[in-house]
Structure 1
Amino acid sequence: MTDETARPSRGLAHSTPVEWAVRALTLLSSIALAILLIATFAGVIMRYVFSAPILGGNEIIELVSVALVMLAMPSAAQREDHVRVDVFDNAIGATGRFLGDILARGISIYLLSLLAWRTWAKLRDAAEFGDATNMLAIPLWPFYGLLALGAALYALVLALQLADVLRAGVSRNE
C-alpha cells in the first residue's frame, strides 16, 4: 500500500541527515547575520552619534562575515539558489547541460575539499600557536573551523547532487 500524498524523492542531497546539517548551519548563519546587523548598527551609532567608535568593530564584522557566508553556502547549494546563466543551454542541448553539470560539480567538489582540508590544517596551526586578532585578541581557530565546516558540507551537498545527476542521466525536459 502506497501513500499517494507522500512527497516524491528529491535526491540524495535532500536526505534527512543532510537536511538537518544544512538547517543547523543555516540557523548558525542566521545568528551570524543578526550579530553582523547589530554590530554594524551599534558601530554606526557609536561613531556618528557619540563620536566614540567601538574598539575592534571591524574585526568583529570581518569574522562574523566569514561565518555568515560559509555557513549559508551549503543551504544555497542544496536548494540550487545560486545564480545561473543559461545563455548556451539551447546551443549545447541536453547532453551539453548534463556534461556541464558534471564538470561544474566535479571541479567545485575538488576545490571545496581542498579548501576544507587546507583550512583544517590552518585551524590546527592557529590553535597551537594561539593566533588571534590584533585589536581584541579574538582566537581565530573557531572561524577557521566554521570555514572548514561550511566548505566540507558544501562539497558533500555537491557530491550528492553529482550522484543524483549521474543517476538521472541526460534530462531532455529542462
Structure 2
Amino acid sequence: MKTAKQELARSTPVEWAVRLLTLLSSLALGLLLVATFAGVIMRYVFEAPILGGNEIIQLASVVLVMLAMPAAARDEIHIRVDVFDHKIGRYGRLLGDILSRGIAIYILAMLAMRSWKKLADAAEYGDATNMLQIPLWPFYGLLVLGAALYAIVLLLQLIDILRAGARHGE
C-alpha cells in the first residue's frame, strides 16, 4: 500500500500550488463575508446600498470556488455518492474512478482553454464590470489557474489509481 508521501497528487510542487490557491481562496472568502456584511448593514441600517456590491460578491465568488476546487480534489473531500459501491465491486469502483477522473480532466481542460481565450479577449478589449469598471481578465486568469490545477491533480490521481489497481475495502 502506498503512503501519502508516495502519491503523485501529493507531491511537493502540487502541495505548494494547492496551498497558495487555497490561501487566495480563503482571502476571497474573507472579502465575500465582509462585502456581504457591509452591504446588508449599509442597505438596511443606513438605507445607502454599496455601489457595485453585487459585482464584488460575484467576482469574489468566482475566485473562491475556482481556487478552492484543487484542494477539494487533492484531499478528496468533494461530495461522493457510493450507493452502488458494494454492488459493483472493486473493479467496478476502479472503472468508475478512472472514468470520472478522465471525464473531469477533459471538461476542466476545455474550461481552461476557453477561459484562456476569454482572458485574451477581455485583456485586448478592456472588458470590465458595469458599475465599478473592474477589469475582468485577472478573474479569467484565476479561473484558468484553478481549472488547470484541478485537472493536474485529477491527472496525478488517475496515474496513482492506475499504478495501484483495484483495491479491497474502499
Aligning the two structures, in what range does the TM-score lie when normalised by the shorter sequence? over 0.9
Distance (whole Å) between structure 1 residues aligned to residue 10 and residue 4 of structure 2: 11
**Cα drift, residue 9 of structure 1:** 2.6
In structure 2, give the amino acid aligned to 1:71: L
Instruction: Specify the SS of the correspondent of 2:5.
Output: coil
RMSD: 0.9
Give the Cα separation in 1 of the matches to 2:103 and 2:81.
18
Instruction: Give the equivalent residue in structure 2 for 1:105.
Output: 101
| 1:11 partner amino acid | E
Amino acid corresponding to residue 48 of structure 1 in structure 2: Y
* CA apart distance, 1:138: 0.5
Cα distance between partner residues in 1 of 2:133 and 2:103: 36
CA distance in 2, matches of 1:98, 1:108: 15
2:25 paired with 1:29? yes
Q: TM-score, normalised by structure 2?
A: 0.97
Runs of 5+ in structure 1 lacking a partner? 1-6
Greater per-residue helix proportion: 2
Identity of aligned residues (%): 73
Match of 1:75 among 71, 75, 82: 71
Cα gap change, 1:31 to 1:131, in 2 (>3 Å): same
Instruction: Tell me which residue corresponds to 1:135.
Output: 131
**Residues 70, 146 of structure 2: 8 Å contact kept:** yes
After superposition, the Cα gap between the structure-2 partners of 1:28 and 1:131, relative to the gap in structure 1 and judged at 3 Å, is same
Does the residue aligned with 1:170 lie in a helix, a strand or coil?
coil
Count, aligned residues: 168
**Amino acid in the other structure paired with 2:23:** L
- Give me the TM-score of the superposition, normalised by structure 1: 0.95
Does 2:158 match 1:162?
Answer: yes
